[in-house]
A and B are shown apart, each in its own frame.
Chain A
């Protein structure tokens, strides 16, 4: 965690093979990506790819420059963590047989402002939204109870203020 996290947001044409091209370029040039998410945007025909990575400025600059050479990439920018909002969703299934432990878990969920979205007699599925640090902290706590299964979305982000990334 020594290196600063970088968020890269790309608006890409919503065409078959675009994610493949982005992923292929990242692999070919040996860039290390922590998370990558893809989804639709406010504009028809455009998707948004959000990536996070760790590395020095020069590598991030290369990632941005190389990706912007793909003709399907319409716009790409680095979102500075200080000038953007970013969130990740994690769903975690935790062992909760012992009523005392279950109550502890529910307490933690409340402190972290998560939600229980499914429960059985000996487990809970918890939804947790937040920045990566918060989710990691919550998951660390849950490890003590026993994590059965975990799914994370990776980060999505928007710049602060009224401007759009596409501008």
Chain B
């Protein structure tokens, strides 16, 4: 069957089971949009391409399948960049389709020309430029394969405008030709398993550190089973929140710079670290020279390049997290390695008790930690929470207990402010029956706030909770702690009235003055049919504690300032 290039793209997307695509049309993608017009692909018109990428990312993280975004050539494509970089750092499968100026004009500095393939190269798993419509079926199939296998990540496909018009025979075989890429089986090597078993059996104080890879490989159930079998407490990275229900007796919460005291101390005291799908980022480990000094380390990761990148490990296992954890569980069960409460678990409970009072907030006014705990108490376990970046994100990470995998969506690696709202929209599109909350700051919310218009127009009711401190809080906190309170340009001055702002977009705005008002607004938000914005004024002097100052070891924690 002969089709135009544009129609062939739509056809290929449908073959990849794409249901929705986030984007904005432009000059170079007019023919592509003409093909979308007559297809049953759902298209969500965003107000900024950055948001299209974040939405596709949020969608992908909730659903576990690639999210698709599109933008026109030049500025449309460059606006995707932040979103692609977020997806790359957090290994999220996003496929971006960009228009390009027609082939004869490439390299001539044509109107709205930008070398997006060159620009996207370091922030994607792969960036294609399709130079003939005949390449469309193979390229799109390959792009989805690359995005969603091994260590996942974003892929960009750039289409010069004339390619949309070329005819292509889509009956052609869709054979993939990428010699340097093969989909890993994910099976752990028996030798590595044997060595890991040895370390686990001889360990007295094992700890599991879980990262985003646990979500990516849907390994949460296997992780909990292994933890229970060997009575290993579980600390997570920011990306790993959701690996284990945080109400589980073996859960320690988040590790690292703003990690919980019990998690950081347990990691320091452990004699065996089992790291699963995490990459030992500087925010998780603190001072590398001190990290895991007294422990043997088993590192399970699908990406061989992560092994030994930051931390020297004793047993590397390049494999799928779920397969590895289930193999370990099975082998340990066979040799009767089930453990009961012991000195180590006692010590873990002791650490939890020791620090529990530190998290209580005594001062007057609306306090972020308490707000997060209240939120958890009200919303269902499968509700999704996205976050902005900075203090709001860390308060959510520290105090909001995540109960299920893929329900905590945050820009972990890149730390892109403005991620929260569009990610919440993408998440809601992925899972319309579940409530979606965006825990944000006023600084970050305003960076992508225009996409409230998207949420309103498309009828995507997410609830944004703005912890409104009128400052760029995390930077201000560092200025307070490390710059002698020289608050250089972190005061946002007169911030907009978020209630009126929400209303201007056709959303509902609520100003929160008390915990009771917060509770009732959240409850009403659960049933809202239009987007809701809760403006929650908090003190600009609120800080995120505990904190391990940069360059310090995990035990050198600051609790008060």
By a beta-carbon cutoff of 8 Å, the part of chain A in contact with chain B is 12-13, 17, 20-21, 24-25, 28, 58, 61-62, 65-66, 68-75
Contact = CB atoms under 8 A, between A and B. Distances in A.
Interface stretch (B76-84, B304-312, B421-429): B304-312
A13 B122 CA distance: 18
B118 A74 contact: no
A68 B179 CA distance: 11
Nearest to B181: A71
A119 B125 CA distance: 51
B122 A24 contact: yes
A140 to B, nearest CB: 38
Contacts of B303: 69
Interface of B: 117-118, 121-122, 125-126, 146, 178-181, 303-305, 307-309
Contact of B308 (A61, A69, A75): A61
Given A20-B121, A21-B121, A24-B121, A65 B305 contact: yes
A72 B180 contact: yes
B121 A71 contact: no
B305 A62 contact: yes
Contact of A71 (B118, B126, B308): B126
A74 B305 CA distance: 16
Given A17-B121, A24-B122, A65-B307, 4 more contacts: A17-B117, A66-B305, A68-B305, A71-B178
A74 B178 CA distance: 8
Nearest to A16: B129
A17 B116 CA distance: 13
Contacts of A12: 180
B304 A65 contact: yes
Contact of B179 (A13, A28, A69): A13
Nearest to A46: B179
Nearest to A17: B117
A58 B308 CA distance: 8
Nearest to A63: B305
A71 B304 contact: no
A62 B308 contact: yes
Contacts of B117: 17
Contacts of B179: 13, 74
Contacts of B180: 12-13, 68, 70-75
Given A69-B303, A71-B180, A72-B180, A62 B309 contact: yes
A20 B118 CA distance: 8
Contacts of A70: 180
A80 to B, nearest CB: 19
8 closest A-B pairs (Cβ-Cβ)? A65-B305, A71-B181, A74-B179, A74-B180, A73-B180, A71-B180, A71-B178, A28-B122
Contacts of A20: 118, 121
A72 B308 CA distance: 23
A65 to B, nearest CB: 4
9 contacts: A17-B117, A20-B121, A24-B122, A25-B122, A58-B308, A66-B305, A70-B180, A74-B179, A74-B180
A71 B126 CA distance: 8
Contacts of A73: 180
Nearest to A73: B180
Nearest to B150: A69
Contacts of B125: 71
Contacts of A66: 305
Contacts of B307: 65
A75 B117 CA distance: 23
Nearest to B178: A71
Contacts of B118: 17, 20
Contacts of B308: 58, 61-62
